[in-house]
């Protein structure tokens, strides 16, 4: 089982304002906003991801399964319509 395809340049970035546990065997990735491969997402903060052990395994029930959290810098508003549009576009790629 390999590592996630997208690796943040700074995977050691610590955000003390929240806690997102890492289940045993899962991989971690943190990507600072703005995200270079998603220029339409105009926020600042961090995307914190957790990849299942079977994330890259085509035969696994965990294939392409992951959890993520967006921690945005103070003062930014996340609009529901943006979330819906972004998530639908991401899932339908």
Q: What is d(CA 75, CA 38) in angstroms, rounded to the nearest whole number?
A: 21
* 21-70 residue pLDDT tens: 899 999 999 888 888 888 878 888 888 999 999 999 999 999 999 998 88
User: Who wins on pLDDT, 3 or 34?
Assistant: 34
Q: Which residues have CB under 8 Å from 62's CB, separation 6+?
A: 52, 53, 54, 55
Q: What is the model's pLDDT at position 37?
A: 83
Predicted confidence band at 14 (pLDDT cuts at 50, 70, 90)? low
pLDDT tens digits, residue range 55-67? 999 999 999 999 9
The count of structural domains within the chain is: 1
pTM over 0.95: no
The range of the structural domain enclosing residue 44 comes to: 1-93
């Amino acid at each position: 089982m390999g590592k996630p395809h997208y690796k943040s340049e700074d995977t050691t970035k610590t955000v003390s304002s929240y806690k997102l546990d890492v289940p045993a065997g899962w991989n971690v990735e943190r990507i600072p906003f703005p995200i270079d491969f998603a220029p339409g997402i105009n926020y600042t903060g961090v995307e914190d991801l957790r990849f299942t052990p079977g994330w890259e395994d085509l035969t696994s029930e965990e294939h392409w399964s992951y959890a993520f959290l967006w921690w945005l810098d103070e003062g930014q508003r996340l609009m529901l319509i943006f979330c819906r549009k972004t998530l639908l576009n991401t899932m339908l790629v």
